[in-house]
Amino acid sequence: MTQTIFANARLVLPDEVVRGSLRVAGGRITDIAAGASVPAGAVDCAGDLVMPGLIELHTDNLERHIQPRPKVDWPHPAAIIAHDGELASVGITTVFDAMRVGSVPSERNDYAAYARQLATELLQMRAEGVLRISHFLHLRAEICSATLVEEMAAFGPEDRVGIVSLMDHTPGQRQFRDVSKLKQYVQGKHGMSDAGFEDHVAHMQSLREANGEEHERVAVAEARRYGAVLASHDDTLEDHVDTSAAHGVRLAEFPTTREAAAACHARGIAVMMGAPNLIRGGSHSGNVAAQELAEADLLDIVSSDYVPSALLSAALLLGDIWGDLPRGVATVTRAPADVVDMPDRGRLQIGARADVVRVHRIAGAGAVRGAWVAGERVA
């Protein structure tokens, strides 16, 4: 049986950082020992951090690869391979690839349906052993859309759908309560005229009025059919959280206010915030800052959102903010693993899956010096 020993490392264990060695064999962690010795044949980590592989629950990165510019469609196999390699290079060893379901055929072409085809291609490449890291699906169910019901019906329990999030981007509420922020975003990305933007807002609001209630009911039912964890998105008011709790939501993605985050904790719903929000010092949409929630003990999980490399940086930053590196690392390892019921990963302990990352800290940032998935080196 092939084994690897990571020696002379600072091991980020669940509750402490220990100088020692980690032995992996057969895809599992088989031993953890204290001490700085370097046995023959071991990887000398020279004091670098060795931590669990990072777990990403919500990333738009694959969408960025398949459409690197507006109206530019990139070949999917090449995009999937590039996305997979990028995540491995920044220490992410398990990912829930976010794909939107629920389209607006009469709107911009980037709102056309794509998820079923992309998922089929990704799952086939996974079955062929092409991909480096562990991939699951995260279906972003867009409530304000025209085609959600038929798009979700095309998926089933065999598709590795681990998360379904209830997304409602109707202008004038949740993330875009301030419609001027939405206008800046849409016009900046698509060059839309003022009149075109007004038409867009009216059309989206009419879709929500016509379909919203039924789409929300269907999305909740489909998540149960897949066996997926249900997530809310952009909860803003306590009423939003009450609705989430009634649906059985376990994960709140990017609540926009401190009030909503506190309500989530009161109802046992884990709070996830974006790493870019934390690193930039605030939300680009003008919503609550991730650091404010961290300092109020209202932050449980971090997602890289649209910058994969931000996940590791955010974990290290949280470790500094809290004065507790294991707690910071847990927001991108153990906590996400727990919320999606994956007790085999996200922690350095004997018997756990050998998803391991070696990190060298440079001026507060982290440089990944190696990543292993089930004991096999992938970066």
Q: What would the DSSP string read from start to end of 228-287?
A: PEEEEES--SHHHHHHHHHHT--EEES-SSHHHHHHHHHTT-EEEEEHHHHHHTS-TTS-
CA distance linking residue 163 with residue 272, whole number of Å: 13
Q: What angle do CA 366, 56, 28 make, to 5 degrees?
A: 85
The predicted-structure confidence for 283-338, as pLDDT tens digits, reads as follows 876 789 999 999 999 999 999 999 999 999 999 999 999 999 999 999 999 999 99
pLDDT above 70 coverage of the chain, percent:
88
Residue 213 to residue 160: CA distance in whole angstroms: 26
Tell me the residue length of the chain: 379
Stated as kind and residue range, the H or E segment containing 99 is strand 92-101
How far apart are alpha carbons 250 and 341 in whole angstroms?
Answer: 11
pLDDT at 181 over 70: no
* pLDDT tens per residue across span 251-264: 999 999 999 999 99
Q: Going from the N-terminus, what domains does the chain have, and what CATH number goes with each?
A: 54-342 (3.20.20.140)
Radius of gyration of the chain, Cα coordinates, nearest whole angstrom: 21
What is residue 172's predicted lDDT score, i.e. its pLDDT?
53
Q: Which helix (H) or strand (E) holds 6?
A: strand 3-12
Mean pLDDT over 64-79 rounds to 92
d(CA 69, CA 189): 9
List pLDDT tens digits, range 207-247.
Answer: 777 677 899 999 999 999 999 999 999 999 999 999 999 99
Which has more confidence, 205 or 55?
A: 55
Give dist(CA 324, CA 16) in Å, integer: 8
Rounded to an integer, what distance in angstroms lies between the CA atom of residue 149 and that of residue 266?
32
- Rounded Cα–Cα distance for residues 95 and 87 (Å): 8
CB 343 within 8 A of CB 317: no
The token pair that represents 141 in the structure block: 């169910």
pLDDT of residue 183: 58
Gap between the Cα atoms of 147 and 142, Å rounded: 9
Position 233, amino acid: H
Tell me the two tokens of residue 144. 């304000």
What pTM, to 2 d.p., does this model score?
0.91
The whole-angstrom separation of Cα 40 and Cα 12 is: 23
